[in-house]
């Protein structure tokens, strides 16, 4: 019997075969020789670059084409005789030329476009000037967006000033509909139109990038892993066309690298700079400071450089090369607290003086070869080596059960159940990322063929003991009565803290030597996450010219293959600290473990008190000199490693048909079609089997004693864990498929006013943690017996998106867009609990070792259920203030605003979405200098739902408070070869504030804040130039 998959495969092969036969038949009927062909390139004289997406048209006809990334165009089906060509590009004056075309001949005509004039008659671009470069960047983004087949935003490098350390996310944060997710000061994830960052597809030159992510199981791409110094521009697609992947539920980000063919002559550019953070000067000023470990001891200034070389060897061969290095040091301060939201008393306070050094080196190379007049081959390589050194010293005060308090104080119970604890999450993280793309294009007459291939590789590793320190430790000071006073309004940090033992004697909680060492960890030993993505794509396009009422009709078919493998492993180890049998011998003061030098320069939190921090380096030195003091917990270590160990292999095959039709003399453009995608997953993950720790008979049945109790194989807790967990003991195969239609329409109301409407069906695949297999079975002797199963058969979210937008270009010196959209999403993930029966056990591939082994158990898993709707509004506007006096010309203002609204049964699944975002700024560009001031404002953001308890009422969420980030940059050009520049990110050190409160139970404002995080402002100072 044929399965549904067999039938689907047959349908798609028949569908693809019919499309190819139709193309071939039509080609045979219309294969008459083209009357003639015109080829050439379009050049921007002001900045010395060939331009992409310049429009070249034959006047008086519907014949038109657009230049590629190297400024080249090819215009087919030109009637024999004399014709007039017109080349246009935003910001440059149009140019026309008469060309005589012979039948069946190829004629060449190049265009050199020069600056155009503004509304006031002032030339907008001054040759070889700062203003010219900024205006050229804006022109690139405008042309790309204006002539796109779908709704998208484009930002060119330099449009919003210097982006810092080559992180593309810093370019994107000022675009409408974009919300950037930060890790400390690092711009990392990208959320488009409120959808999770895992629903944003990220590619470089069309090749999907590999990214292991920090946790190893997400689909989101952390853009800080890609230091992109050879960027030309970044595109954000809001609505896909059929030739683009369907797994872009929020949107797709494509980074386009520079091309050697962009230049007419070679260009070498350099940038040398120093980075620093405003908090790097605290306690030590300009001097080198002692870090918590040797590799974190440094001064406030860190070096960086970028080199770029664009080399057009000749008209057929070109190279682009980029290399660079950056280093940045950050000190940050965090206060984290928990409150009992029923009594409003503090239950916990953490202070965290953190430090971090981020370093990255990169090399990129692009080679392009034009194989005659009709073929081009392009290959590019990007390699990034990143290092992330981090240490978070943490002092945690737990006030204990029975604590009382209010807005200004907290008092621990007199029974002395409070405690103080120290921990030191610290690691050396490295990330090695490579992206390898190749592209072959053929264009002759009405036929176009394109073949793309890409390979992405990413490896994330963490190390601790290999670098000479433990990754963490369990160190505490128990049995305390704690009192906190002068609570810092809003942050909930007591500025005065006192501690007493149960006998009423004062205890110094700021002296690390008074703490007891319980255990130490190699949290990140052998920690490795690898991600590999390989892709192939073939497109075939046939252009038919005018057909009936159509001024242009084009058919395109294509197929794609993607394969991904994600692998997670680590070698976690935990040692109990047992120098002798007494607790007194485990006190830190017995072993000279306090780092007095670092403690003297660490950021203070309590006025007049200096925390004496224990050193994980000294702890590891103690281990190396006295290994007998440390007892390995082999069972705990083994269990942690098994639970982390996972592997997923995913194969995606796709095919599509796309049709482009232009009506009304090219004023109306319709792009529609359908895409088919099939996903096949093979996963391996941990298996937890509690029955393995009990004695079984020869038939596999559990054996009970005379009292009916199960008989354990061993009572040793560590030995039991070795039996309990099975490394990659769960394995599964799953697949799903679907059709994803789309339709994009663009109506040119006038030359500079466009109306767009679009529909697209997209999907969002489950995160890897939700499909990599894992089974956790509770103990057979437990009162409530459950089997928690990762449902590897989860299907993706699917959404139908509708868009409508109005775009204006260069109307009275202004460029604007206003649009509305709606995404109707279904198949969310909900929790399902069912009784364990032979049928359900077989469904989730859980074998029974004997009949009725799991009678009385419930299976808990996730399933596709529920829906939600995201409705939004976007508006953006940019205006040249040309009407100001001459001295103020070059002033420009811009803003964009996005508002999102949710409705439906599953709105709680949208944690982290930003309801309102406002970006605005001003810039001032003159021939010798320029300055920019950009502001990014985000509204309150709802985060994770908290589990209800006696201290947490129902419907309690964490919330990110509204935040405003300000960026600025300045450049002064002494000559083309030498400029001074400065840039700032988070100029005013805006802190990140997290709140916790219920949507149904009132909580006072002073009790809401649970976390304050201050990162400091990041600055770059440097010189740059070009030759």
The pLDDT value recorded for residue 440 is 97
For 318-356, what is each residue's pLDDT tens digit?
Answer: 999 999 999 999 888 899 999 999 999 999 999 999 899
Q: Which of 117, 186, 506 is nearest to 358 (CA)?
A: 186
The pLDDT value recorded for residue 305 is 95
**Share of residues in the chain with pLDDT > 90 (%):** 58
The pLDDT value recorded for residue 1019 is 94
Give CA–CA dist 171/983, Å, rounded.
13
The pLDDT value recorded for residue 28 is 44
For 254-309, what is each residue's pLDDT tens digit?
Answer: 999 999 999 999 999 999 999 999 988 877 777 787 888 999 988 899 999 999 99
Query: 11: how many CB neighbours lie within 10 A of its CB?
Result: 12
Q: How does the average pLDDT of the chain come out, rounded?
A: 88
Confidence of residue 133 (pLDDT cuts 50, 70, 90): low
Q: What is the pTM of this model?
A: 0.88
pLDDT for 779 beyond 60: yes
Cβ burial 981-1007 (10 Å sphere, 16+ → b, else e): bbbbbbbeebbbbbbbbbeeeebeeeb
pLDDT for 677 beyond 50: yes
The pLDDT value recorded for residue 489 is 66
Give CA–CA dist 520/423, Å, rounded.
10
Burial of 4 (0-12, 13-18, 19+ CB in 10 A): exposed
Asked which of 149-163, 248-262, 386-400, 476-490 is least confident by mean pLDDT, the reply is 149-163
The pLDDT value recorded for residue 341 is 93
Task: Work out the average pLDDT over 491-502.
Answer: 89
Helix axes 717-724, 634-644, angle to 10 degrees: 20
Confidence of residue 6 (pLDDT cuts 50, 70, 90): very low
The pLDDT value recorded for residue 32 is 42
Of residues 663 and 183, more confidence is placed in 663
The pLDDT value recorded for residue 129 is 52
Asked which of 278-287, 537-546, 904-913 is least confident by mean pLDDT, the reply is 904-913
With contact defined as beta carbons under 8 Å apart, do 957 and 997 qualify? yes
pLDDT for 998 beyond 50: yes
Cβ burial 148-175 (10 Å sphere, 16+ → b, else e): bbbbbbbbbbbbbbbbbbbbbbbbbbbb
Across 164-168, 756-760, 830-834, 991-995, the highest mean pLDDT is recorded for 756-760
Q: Where are the beta strands (DSSP E) in 492-526?
A: 493-500, 516-522
The pLDDT value recorded for residue 556 is 97
Pair of tokens at residue 994 = 């997290």
The pLDDT value recorded for residue 134 is 61
The pLDDT value recorded for residue 25 is 41
Task: Work out the average pLDDT over 479-508.
Answer: 90
Per-domain residue ranges for the chain? 1-32, 36-126
Give CA–CA dist 537/559, Å, rounded.
6
Confidence of residue 165 (pLDDT cuts 50, 70, 90): confident
Pair of tokens at residue 449 = 């063929």
The pLDDT value recorded for residue 131 is 57
Q: Which residues contact 660 (CB under 8 A, 6 or more apart)?
A: 149, 552, 553, 554, 555, 556, 669, 670, 671
Which residue reads 């900045």 in tokens?
Answer: 47
Which residue reads 């959320």 in tokens?
Answer: 191
Q: What is 36-126's CATH topology?
A: Immunoglobulin-like (2.60.40)
For 547-604, what is each residue's pLDDT tens digit?
Answer: 778 888 999 999 999 999 999 999 999 999 999 878 899 999 999 999 999 999 888 8
Task: Work out the average pLDDT over 815-821.
Answer: 95
The pLDDT value recorded for residue 473 is 94
For 643-656, what is each residue's pLDDT tens digit?
Answer: 999 999 999 999 99
User: 438: which strand partners?
Assistant: 379, 453
Q: What angle is formed at CA 548 by the lines to CA 546 and CA 553, rounded to 5 degrees?
A: 40
With contact defined as beta carbons under 8 Å apart, do 308 and 359 qualify? no
Asked which of 438-447, 610-619, 876-885 is least confident by mean pLDDT, the reply is 876-885
With contact defined as beta carbons under 8 Å apart, do 821 and 803 qualify? yes
Confidence of residue 16 (pLDDT cuts 50, 70, 90): low
DSSP letter assigned to residue 68: -
Q: What is the sign, positive or negative, of the torsion defined by CA atoms of 502, 504, 509, 515?
A: negative
The pLDDT value recorded for residue 767 is 86
Confidence of residue 966 (pLDDT cuts 50, 70, 90): very high
Give CA–CA dist 782/202, Å, rounded.
46
Task: Work out the average pLDDT over 874-880.
Answer: 94
Across 163-172, 674-683, 903-912, the highest mean pLDDT is recorded for 674-683
**Which is it for strands 916-925 and 929-938: parallel, antiparallel or unpaired?**
antiparallel
């Amino acid at each position: 019997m044929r399965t549904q998959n067999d039938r689907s495969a047959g349908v798609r092969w028949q569908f693809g075969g019919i499309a190819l036969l139709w193309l071939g038949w039509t080609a045979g009927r219309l294969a008459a020789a083209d009357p003639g062909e015109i080829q050439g390139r379009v050049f921007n004289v002001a900045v010395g670059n060939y331009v992409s997406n310049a429009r070249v048209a034959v006047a008086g006809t519907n014949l038109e084409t657009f230049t590629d990334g190297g400024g080249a165009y090819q215009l087919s089906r030109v009637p024999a005789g004399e014709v007039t060509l017109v080349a246009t590009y935003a910001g440059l004056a149009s140019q026309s030329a008469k060309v005589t075309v012979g039948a069946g001949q190829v004629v060449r005509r190049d265009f050199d476009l020069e600056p155009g004039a503004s509304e006031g008659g002032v030339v907008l671009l001054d040759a070889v000037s700062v203003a010219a470069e900024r205006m050229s960047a804006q022109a690139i983004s405008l042309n790309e967006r204006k002539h796109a087949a779908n709704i998208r935003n484009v930002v060119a490098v330099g449009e919003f000033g210097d982006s810092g350390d080559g992180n593309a996310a810093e370019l994107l944060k000022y675009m409408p509909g974009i919300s950037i997710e930060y890790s400390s000061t690092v711009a990392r994830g990208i959320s488009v139109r409120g959808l999770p960052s895992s629903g944003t597809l990220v590619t470089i030159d069309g090749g999907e990038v590999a990214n292991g992510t920090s946790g190893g199981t997400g689909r989101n791409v952390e853009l800080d892993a890609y230091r992109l110094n050879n960027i030309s521009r970044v595109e954000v697609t809001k609505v896909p066309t059929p030739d683009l992947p369907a797994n872009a539920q929020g949107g797709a980000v494509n980074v386009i690298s520079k091309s050697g063919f962009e230049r007419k002559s070679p260009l070498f550019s350099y940038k040398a700079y120093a980075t620093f953070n405003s908090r790097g000067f605290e306690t030590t000023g300009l001097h080198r400071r002692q870090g918590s470990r040797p590799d974190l001891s440094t001064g406030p200034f860190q070096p960086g450089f970028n080199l770029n070389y664009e080399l057009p060897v000749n008209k057929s061969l070109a190279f682009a090369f980029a290399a660079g290095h950056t280093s940045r040091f950050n000190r940050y301060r965090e206060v984290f607290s928990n409150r009992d939201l029923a009594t409003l008393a503090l239950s916990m306070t953490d202070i965290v003086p953190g430090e971090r050094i981020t370093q990255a080196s990169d090399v990129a190379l692009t080679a392009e070869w034009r194989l005659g007049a009709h073929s081009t081959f392009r290959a590019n390589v990007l390699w990034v080596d990143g290092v992330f050194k981090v240490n978070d010293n943490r002092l945690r005060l737990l006030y204990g059960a029975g604590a009382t308090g209010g807005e200004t104080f907290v008092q621990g119970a007199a029974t002395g159940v409070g405690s103080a604890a120290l921990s030191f999450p610290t690691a050396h993280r490295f990330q090695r990322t490579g992206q390898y793309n190749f592209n072959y294009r053929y264009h002759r007459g009405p036929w176009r063929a394109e073949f793309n291939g890409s390979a992405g590789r990413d490896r994330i590793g963490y190390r601790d003991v290999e670098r000479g320190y433990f990754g963490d430790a369990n160190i505490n000071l128990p049995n305390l009565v704690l009192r906190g006073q002068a609570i810092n309004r809003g942050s909930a940090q007591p500025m005065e803290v006192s501690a007493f033992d149960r006998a009423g004697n004062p205890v110094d909680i700021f002296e690390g030597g008074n703490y007891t060492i319980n255990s130490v960890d190699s949290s990140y030993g052998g920690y490795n996450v690898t991600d590999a993505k390989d892709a192939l794509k073939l497109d075939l396009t046939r252009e038919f010219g005018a057909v009936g009422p159509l001024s242009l009709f084009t058919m395109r078919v294509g197929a794609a293959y993607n394969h991904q493998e994600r692998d997670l492993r680590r070698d976690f180890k935990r040692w109990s600290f047992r120098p002798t049998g007494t607790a007194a011998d485990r006190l830190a003061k017995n072993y000279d473990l306090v780092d007095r030098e670092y403690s003297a320069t660490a950021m203070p939190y309590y006025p007049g008190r200096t925390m004496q921090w224990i050193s994980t380096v000294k702890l590891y030195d103690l281990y190396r000199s006295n290994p007998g003091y440390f007892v390995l917990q082999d069972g705990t270590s083994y269990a942690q490693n098994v639970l982390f160990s996972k592997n997923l292999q995913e194969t995606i095959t796709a095919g599509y048909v796309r049709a482009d039709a232009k009506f009304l003399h090219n004023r109306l453009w319709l792009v529609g079609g359908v895409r088919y995608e099939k996903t096949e997953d093979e996963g391996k993950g941990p298996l937890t089997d509690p029955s393995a720790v009990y004695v079984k008979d020869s038939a596999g049945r559990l054996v009970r004693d005379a009292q009916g109790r199960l008989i354990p194989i061993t009572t040793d807790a560590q030995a039991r864990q070795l039996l309990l967990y099975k490394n990659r003991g769960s394995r599964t195969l799953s697949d799903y498929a679907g059709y994803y239609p789309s339709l994009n329409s663009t109506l040119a109301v006038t030359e500079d006013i466009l109306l767009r409407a679009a529909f697209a069906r997209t999907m969002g695949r489950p995160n890897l943690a939700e499909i990599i297999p894992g089974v956790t079975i509770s103990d057979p002797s437990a009162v409530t017996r459950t089997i928690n199963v990762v449902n590897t058969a989860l299907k993706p979210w699917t959404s139908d998106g509708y868009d409508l937008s109005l775009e204006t270009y260069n109307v009275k010196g202004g460029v604007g867009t206003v649009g509305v959209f709606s995404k109707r999403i279904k198949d969310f993930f909900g929790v399902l609990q069912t009784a364990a029966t032979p049928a359900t056990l077989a469904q989730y591939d859980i074998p029974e070792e004997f009949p009725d082994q799991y009678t009385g158990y419930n299976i808990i898993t996730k399933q596709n259920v529920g829906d939600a709707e995201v409705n939004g509004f976007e508006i953006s506007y940019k205006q040249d203030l040309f009407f100001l006096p001459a001295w103020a010309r070059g002033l420009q203002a811009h803003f964009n605003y996005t508002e999102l609204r949710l409705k439906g049964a599953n709105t709680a699944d949208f944690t982290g979405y930003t309801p309102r975002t406002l970006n605005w700024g001003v810039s001032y560009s003159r021939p010798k200098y320029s300055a920019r001031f950009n502001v990014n404002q985000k509204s309150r953001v709802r985060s994770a739902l908290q589990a209800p308890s006696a201290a947490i009422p129902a419907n309690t969420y964490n919330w990110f408070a509204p935040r405003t980030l300000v960026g600025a940059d300045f450049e002064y050009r002494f000559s083309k070869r030498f400029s001074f520049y400065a840039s700032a990110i988070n100029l005013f050190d805006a802190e990140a504030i997290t709140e916790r409160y219920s949507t149904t139970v009132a909580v006072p404002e002073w009790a809401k804040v649970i976390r304050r995080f201050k990162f400091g402002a990041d600055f770059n100072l440097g010189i740059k130039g070009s030759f």
